[in-house]
Structure 1
Amino acid sequence: MPAKGAKESGGGARKATPDIIRPYGDTTGDGMVQVSFTLPVPHDKRAEGAALQLAAKMGLEPALLVHAKAMGPDFTFFVVYGSAKHLVDLREVKVVEREFPLLTPKDVNAAIKSRMRRKLVVVGACIGTDAHTVGIDAILNIKGFAGEKGLEYYREIKVVNLGAQVLVPDLVERARAEKADAVMVSQVVTQRDAHIHNTTAMSAAFREAYPAGQVPLLVVGGPRFEEGSAPKLGVDRIFGRGTTPGEVASYLVHELAQPKATQEKR
């Protein structure tokens, strides 16, 4: 029998993961990590000394400068390798678990047809100045992502993809015109927390434009959103990097095509 906490893998038992861990580089527990950053100084010996000083203040000691490259006349890009003294307690890591089952396209269509008795309407866009449509297209377009067809493939889902750089008032107006059940927004541009500001502005606009309790399901996706931050941003769901169309479709069914008794508890 395997030891308590051990997991079997293949032909043998695997050691239980300890609660307290450190980064692994050359040897177990050596704490070695690699970081990169840019400093607003020309590339010279003083710039390299500044990079090592910053690494030491970040807790990397000893630190080794492994790469330095001028980025124009006034900036230098660095890569530093060093040992971090910090420990990670896995017991304090909080993970947002998926609370709904993954459904096949056939099951998604059947659930929408039997419970809603009409097509589920999704309006999607990249808002603000964000012109990166790869994420929203991966979810909405029929070609999909990761071997899964996008929402356009589902015969019981009507998709309205507004594309890039859509103003929030225009998104609200189109969602009202289409009688959207769900609004999906992709945010890739994150400089100066643009994704946070755009999302909160979008949420506020929808809640102002719709009567209480009639706001469409607000779903946001992007690589830099924090798990569990949906309530703070005023949206219903956040999807991060690697999300597939099937996962989004299953979520929409879970939230919008449930039996009425279940929906009333929301």
Structure 2
Amino acid sequence: MSATPAGPAPRTEPGPLVRPYGDTTGDGMVQVSFTLPLPHDKRAEGAALQLAAKMGMSPALLVHAKAMGPDFTFFVVYGSVTHLVDLREVTVHEREFPLLTPAEVNQAVRTHLQRKLVVVGACIGTDAHTVGIDAILNIKGFAGEKGLEYYRELTVVNLGAQVLVPDLVAAAREVGADAVLVSQVVTQRDAHIHNTTTMSAAFREAFPAGEVPLLVVGGPRFEEGSAAALGVDRVFGRGTTPGEVASYLVHELVAPRTAPDPEGARR
């Protein structure tokens, strides 16, 4: 009698408390990188290890150190931490709308809006990094998905980089924008936060209540769930695809609502 080949081991779900994994399960090994305002010498390396120890890494191994000009040094430190992550305290922001195909997006706009949906996009302030806004708007797209320019029922106006907020407001008014998409990559001194709140305030001052275009911002350093604090309607983080943005626009601007409006119920 031949033995039955063993199948793959059943996958076990992690418990509520987990530790980082490096060489073996639960060893707590992590790798961190940082820069210190010190010239590269033995004292700087000692300072890097001291910082690692204060971060809870013990023992810590300095695996890389490189001078960044005469007054700064970049470090990579590898070591074990004792900290645990409690999965019960992790907050997850789930997508609240279904993902649609380009054909479904076009059909929804054509059926319910009965005109083209107008989208204006830009990088504002001093931000000259158009890779994010181009990934969403440009027909070449991102992650195997074509950008919003590919959608027949969407009119896309890409203003490019370093657009002043007053110019963005004026352009949105001129073309009758339904939605304004802003990409922010530069984050030094919280520039993305300042630019976004400035943009939001400008639109709400320039447009009557209820007529402000849908304000959407995206970038790698925005926190999910921060839209209300920034004064915008939606925040998208790293890895967002054009299909997600298009589906959201349909969800907010096109698809008929099935749930009752709590504000209307009180009127």
TM bracket, shorter-chain basis: over 0.9
Q: Letter of the aligned partner of 2:109 in structure 1?
A: I
Corresponding residue for residue 155 of structure 2 = 158
Corresponding residue for residue 27 of structure 2 = 30
Q: Deviations over 1:6-44 (max 9, x none)?
A: xxxx95521121110010111111111011111111111
- Point out 4+ residue stretches in structure 1 off by more than 3 angstroms: 260-266
Alpha-carbon contact 1:112-1:257 (below 8 Å) kept: yes
CA drift of 1:113 comes to 0.7
Corresponding residue for residue 117 of structure 1 = 114
SS in 1 for 2:232: coil
Matched, 1:221 2:218: yes
Relative to 1, partners in 2 of residues 1:265 and 1:114: Cα closer, same or farther, differing over 3 Å?
farther
Corresponding residue for residue 68 of structure 2 = 71
SS in 2 for 1:231: helix
Q: Letter of the aligned partner of 2:106 in structure 1?
A: N
Paired with 1:65 and 1:16, the residues of 2 have a C-alpha distance of: 34
Paired with 2:70 and 2:44, the residues of 1 have a C-alpha distance of: 12
SS in 2 for 1:14: coil
Q: Deviations over 1:82-110 (max 9, x none)?
A: 11121100111111101111111111001
Alpha-carbon contact 1:255-1:263 (below 8 Å) kept: no
Matched, 1:41 2:41: no
Corresponding residue for residue 79 of structure 2 = 82
Paired with 2:25 and 2:99, the residues of 1 have a C-alpha distance of: 37
SS in 1 for 2:10: strand
CA drift of 1:173 comes to 0.6
Relative to 1, partners in 2 of residues 1:153 and 1:161: Cα closer, same or farther, differing over 3 Å?
same
Alignment of 1:74-153 (within 5 A): 74-153=71-150
Matched, 1:14 2:29: no
Corresponding residue for residue 237 of structure 1 = 234
Q: Deviations over 1:173-197 (max 9, x none)?
A: 1001111000000000000111011
Relative to 1, partners in 2 of residues 1:112 and 1:153: Cα closer, same or farther, differing over 3 Å?
same
Q: Deviations over 1:115-174 (max 9, x none)?
A: 011000000000000000011001101111111111011110000000000000100010
Corresponding residue for residue 4 of structure 2 = none
Farther off after superposition, 115-124 or 73-82 = 73-82
Matched, 1:52 2:23: no
**Unaligned stretches of 5+ in structure 2?**
1-6
Q: Letter of the aligned partner of 2:128 in structure 1?
A: A
Identity fraction in percent: 81
CA drift of 1:228 comes to 0.6
**What CA RMSD, in Å, does the superposition of the two structures yield over aligned residues?**
1.4
Paired with 2:94 and 2:74, the residues of 1 have a C-alpha distance of: 37
CA drift of 1:225 comes to 0.4
Matched, 1:61 2:63: no
SS in 2 for 1:228: coil
Q: Letter of the aligned partner of 1:144 in structure 2?
A: G
Paired with 2:95 and 2:219, the residues of 1 have a C-alpha distance of: 17
Corresponding residue for residue 253 of structure 2 = 256
